[in-house]
Chains A and B, each alone.
Chain A
Amino acid sequence: MDLKKENEQHPAIKETLDAVKANIDMLMNIKGTVSPDHLHRELGKIMWNYVGMARDAEGLKKAITEIQALREEFKTNLKIVGDKTELNDQLERAGRLQDFLELGELMARDALERNESCGGHFRTEYQTPEGEALRNDDAFMYAAAWQYTGEGQPEELVKEDLKFEFVHPSQRSYK
């Protein structure tokens, strides 16, 4: 039994293959003026400045706006040299960048939603007098999972509640 031939006819596989091929064609046909790396660096600056180790609401809103503009530029001005039938490093970078842009915007949105400081997420508006993370367990004791709702559609927040029965989270102190 030739599994490869069998599988290619499976509807789920066919649908995915078609979607991937359509995306590759879309990327190849933009034929703009900026390379994937150029846009990648721009995204890097936004993330470093506004979605880094310390964040605040104003910066996060700015990040979201700027990333959305960058995604527009990606869609309309991306340049990929070479063709899609052979090894194409630029096409590979563009594909990854497409994901990074989506993820970057979502990271900023997620950080904006969580109005507390917790672990590696430090919102400067929410800190103890000693400068430690100030949590709001009443409102934010959940893991935020974001559900894909379709191309270009905003992701939907799904809260996965965290329940601590025997060991209760407290305030970290190095004193």
Chain B
Amino acid sequence: MNLTLKIWRQKNANTKGKMVAYPVQNISEHASFLEMLDILNEDLIHKGEEPVAFGHDCREGICGSCGLYINGRAHGPDETTATCQVHMRKFKDGDTITIEPWRAKAFPVIKDLVVDRSAFDRILQAGGYISVNTGSARDANEILVPKPIADEAFSAAECIGCGACVAACPNASAMLFTSAVVSHLALMPQGQPERHKRVEAVVAQMDYEGFGNCTNIGACSKECPKGISQIHIARMNKEYMAAKLINSKGIEETAGGFG
């Protein structure tokens, strides 16, 4: 099939970007979306033009590196698929495809379709972990966890940190990502010792990074390639209120800690 790709090109964070149209020919319907971009890039390189920069790694929907807005949908058409799992059979000959990066103040553009998502790393560093002495870990099977709890925690842990939730949200809120971390660890025995400190610290970092606020729109969950549920947002709100009631220290101490 022959297609017209309208792609966001931006040289770097200090240069204004714009949409540029590229025709591509003879794309097989069996090709993946990213393979199609590879083909475009080989063509551009051949002509001496700069290829389109885009994020990718595993190319099988598990690493969270890829992330393109395709025809106005985060990770393209279909639910619970990442950009790298989109195949060209979803499109037809003559189609025009609009390709944009994640747009959010907290995700500055690095180049073309590549954005800086280190804000997510800093949220995790602020508290998205458990503190435990390694090297002396006990057998995991000794720690009894009811299956429904383990399953619920796992459904939150499935988050791959791609940022589609932020991009899809009109407020560019990171609540789905942050709540997936909090929810996962708040449910597990290992997460109990730091349960209150954690939620306050990650929320403070999330706000510091410049993400927007949540108004329960739900686009995040709909676009999530792993289908992370908004129930985790509800759980984090509950965790946050509990932490504020119990702790007397203000959040000022933890805000901006990893900025």
Contacts and interface: CB of A to CB of B under 8 A. Distances in A.
Chains A and B form a bound pair: yes
Interface of A: 35, 37-38, 79, 81-82, 86-87, 89-90
B171 interface: no
Nearest to A37: B42
Given A86-B11, A86-B111, A81 B50 contact: yes
Nearest to A35: B45
Given A37-B42, A38-B42, A86-B11, A81 B111 contact: no
A90 B111 contact: no
A82 B49 CA distance: 8
Given A37-B42, A38-B42, A87 B110 contact: yes
Given A35-B45, A79-B45, A87-B53, 18 more contacts: A35-B42, A37-B38, A37-B42, A38-B42, A81-B44, A81-B45, A81-B48, A81-B50, A81-B51, A82-B50, A82-B51, A86-B11, A86-B111, A87-B12, A87-B110, A87-B114, A90-B45, A90-B51
Contacts of B44: 81
Contacts of B111: 86-87
A42 B45 CA distance: 17
Interface residues of B, number: 15
Interface string B4-43: 0000000110000000000000000000000000100010
A38 B46 CA distance: 11
A34 to B, nearest CB: 9
Contacts of B11: 86
A170 B242 CA distance: 62
A89 B110 CA distance: 12
B51 A89 contact: yes
B118 to A, nearest CB: 14
Nearest to A82: B50
B49 A81 contact: yes
Contacts of B45: 35, 79, 81, 90
Nearest to A89: B53
Contacts of A81: 44-45, 48-51
Contacts of B50: 81-82
20 contacts: A35-B42, A35-B45, A35-B46, A37-B42, A38-B42, A79-B45, A81-B45, A81-B49, A81-B50, A81-B51, A82-B51, A86-B111, A87-B12, A87-B53, A87-B110, A87-B114, A89-B51, A89-B53, A90-B45, A90-B51
Contacts of B42: 35, 37-38
B131 to A, nearest CB: 24
A43 B191 CA distance: 47
Nearest to A88: B53
Nearest to B110: A87
Interface in B76-115: 110-111, 114
A108 B110 CA distance: 39
Nearest to B49: A81
